[in-house]
Amino acid sequence: AKEGGKRRFAVFTPAMRDSIVRRHGLKAELEHAIKQRELVVQYQPIVDLASGQTVSVEALVRWNHPGRGRIPPLEFIPLAEETGLIVPLGRYVMEEACARVSGRHPELQVQVNLSAIELEHPDLIESVAGVIARTGIAPDRVVLEVTETLLVKDAVRGVETLQQLRDLGVQLALDDFGTGYSSLSYLRNLPLDSLKIAREFVEGLAFSDHDAAFVRLIVGLAKTVGLKVVAEGIETREQLDMLREIGCDLGQGYYFAKPMDADADWLAAGIG
């Protein structure tokens, strides 16, 4: 059978073997890490650009590996997705994050990333409902961040699952908007509350008229259809000023704060 119009040759190199061995090792270790709670959750403030107040935090997982040090999520999330470990991992992050924010920060929302694999899992709704019940968090303070890849396999089921989540009272954000295969039909058909403009666009804001035009367009579009907009990856004052001028509601990025430990002062991140 043809694959991508090219013939594939099965050349097995030592590098491939090493990579398989490493991945296999990592898989077992990741399983262990979830059980041993080597995974920690950090929190990055999301700031209201008009008032300067922190209004929400995004939970971001880190793996503190005893031998390898801190492994970034981009190295183990894909592995967790391939192996299905993303399901217990995601549950752990959601439970931690909701428990942390629920009692201590009654003024904040909490955002948790949901991968497409988790969305396909039959127990998702029950699991989210369980976290809400156990942590006592008001459901509308929970924001689940999803990407468009959730629609690749089965768009109809994807939309149904999102609707069921919404019926629990949680909010939904479309993450990394503008990358991948964003389509206007998603905005039209998905039951969303907010969208997050991908860092790539924010990065170009100050020097690319093209990117600035895109950000303007996305913000205008979001507002027209009644969605809140969050700009990701704000690193400079210039970007912040432009986003305010454009009318973007919310922002997140190193300019305000890097992801912080659970016990750090998240509220200090706002604009002074």
Residues engaged in binding ligand C2E (CB under 6 A): 44, 60-61, 72-74, 77, 90, 93, 113, 115, 175-176, 199, 233-235, 252-254, 259
- Least separation in angstroms between CB 252 and Ca ion: 9
Select 14 or 272, whichever has its Cβ closest to ligand C2E: 272
Interacting stretch for Ca ion, rule CB under 5 A, among 68-76, 84-92, 150-158, 226-234? 226-234
45 binds, among ligand C2E, Ca ion, none (CB under 5 to 8 A by kind): none
Phi, psi of 256 (to 5 degrees): -90, -55
Identity at 182, one-letter amino acid code: S
Least CB distance to ligand C2E at residue 138 (A)? 21
# residues contacting Ca ion (CB under 5 A): 5
Q: Of the two residues 127 and 179, which places its CB atom closer to Ca ion in the complex?
A: 179
* Number of alpha carbons in the 13 Å side-chain half-sphere of residue 32: 9
To the nearest 10 degrees (0 to 180), the angle between helices 209-224 and 237-246 is 40
Task: Identify any residues that bridge with 57 across adjacent strands, giving them in sequence order.
Answer: 45, 110
Near Ca ion by CB under 5 A: residue from 29, 96, 118, 145: 145
CA-based radius of gyration for the chain: 20
Please choose which of Ca ion, ligand C2E, none residue 90 contacts, taking the beta carbon within 5 to 8 angstroms, the exact cut-off set by kind: ligand C2E
Between CA 145 and CA 96 the distance in angstroms is 16
Three-state DSSP state, 259: coil
Q: How far is the CB of 58 from Ca ion (least distance, A)?
A: 6
Nearest-approach distance from CB 78 to ligand C2E, in angstroms: 9
Provide the token pair at 22: 């490493």
Query: From CA 171, how far away is CA 55, in angstroms rounded?
Result: 14
Contact residues toward Ca ion (CB under 5 A) are 113, 145, 175-176, 232
